[in-house]
Every structure is written in C-alpha cells, then in structure tokens.
C-alpha cells in the first residue's frame, strides 16, 4: 500500500503544474487542471479514491466548492452513493444550514442543503487541495451539525507545509503531499 501511495504521489507530481506568482507574488500555485485534461491521470485519481472507500458503506461524498465537486461526483458515482454540495452562501436554492469561518483577511460563509445529510450518515469530505484547512474544517462543522459521521477527509493534493491537517480532527487522505 505504501509503494502504491508513493507511486501515485510521484506520478501526479509529474503532471501537476507549478504556476509561479499566482494569485500573488511569492506564491507557487499547484495547478491540477493538467490532471483533469489527462484522461489516464483523472481516471487513476478517481479509481484510487473509489478503491479506498469501496465496501465502507459511505452514504455520501461531500464535495467542497468548486473543485471538490469535480472529484467528489465521479467518486460518488463509482461508489454508487450520493454527492452533497457545500457552496458559498447564497448559491444553493433550497433551505440551508451554514457556518462561517475566518480567512487570512476577513471571513467566509459556506452552506449545504438542510436535507442533504441525515444523522448517522457516514460521509467522506472531499476537495482538490488541502492548504490551511479552514474551508475543510468549516465543511466538517456543517456535516457534524447534521449529525453525520465523517469517515475521512480526502484531497488530491496536500500542501503539508501549511499544516492544514492539524485543523481536521479526522483521518486525512491525500494522494500528493508537498512538504
């Protein structure tokens, strides 16, 4: 299993593109869009998560706006389960449950439909990238407000040097880690 994880890490690092000085000077942005345009890479990522959660009776993949939707929906499909959307406030059409959290400068509010999860549902929270962990932690708070159980938080990429994992009191899976 460790070799398989190391192989995936190395494979994806060969595809993910570094974009210097985006969105501001000094930042090296990890661009996952080459993974999406490479059908083999995209399939490998989705299959890695489907294999990881197969047989675990997951009720839903909780995808974080917006790239979490890109990975969460096909993983949910592969598992034969639902996909719950967590979006920025005001983007969902039905009654919602919400939570606010602090950003580097200011705050943000995210929400999900009030009927998206039921107490006792086992879920995986998914996004493309774990950085500082604020959005993922807020998403976990929404899930807990509905009484659902978080089996794991899953990410394609983890920027481990930002220590976002420390904000998540759950198991964390990332296919690629930048230390």
What is the residue-wise DSSP string for 60-87?
A: EEEEETTHHHHHHHHHHHHHT-EEEEEE
The catalytic residue among 44, 65, 98, 104 is 104
Q: What residues does 99 pair with on adjacent strands?
A: 110
Pairing mode, if any, of strands 82-88 and 106-113?
antiparallel
67 is catalytic: yes
The catalytic residue among 17, 52, 67, 165 is 67
104 is catalytic: yes
Give the CA distances from residue 170 to residues 75, 131, 135, 153, in Å, rounded to whole numbers and listed in that order.
Answer: 19, 16, 14, 7
Measured distance CA(24)–CA(35) in Å, rounded: 23
140-133-56 Cα angle (round to 5): 45
Dihedral of the CA atoms 57, 85, 136, 7 (nearest 10)? Answer: 60
CB 33 within 8 A of CB 154: no
Active-site positions read 67, 104
């Amino acid at each position: 299993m460790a070799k398989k994880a190391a192989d995936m890490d190395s494979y994806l690092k060969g595809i993910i593109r570094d974009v210097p000085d985006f969105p501001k000077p000094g930042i090296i942005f990890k661009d996952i869009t080459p993974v999406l345009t490479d059908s083999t890479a995209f399939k490998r990522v989705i299959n890695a998560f489907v294999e990881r959660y197969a047989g675990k009776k997951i009720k839903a993949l909780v995808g974080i706006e917006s790239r979490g939707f890109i990975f969460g929906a096909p993983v949910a499909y592969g598992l034969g389960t639902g996909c719950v959307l967590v979006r920025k406030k005001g983007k969902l059409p039905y009654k919602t449950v919400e939570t606010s959290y602090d950003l580097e400068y200011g705050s943000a509010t995210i929400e999900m439909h009030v009927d998206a999860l039921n107490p006792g549902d086992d879920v995986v929270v998914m996004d493309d990238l774990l950085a500082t962990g604020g959005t993922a932690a807020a998403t976990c708070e929404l899930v807990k407000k509905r009484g659902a159980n978080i089996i794991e938080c899953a990410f394609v990429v983890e920027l481990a040097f930002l220590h976002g994992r420390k904000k998540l009191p759950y198991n964390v899976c990332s296919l690629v880690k930048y230390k």
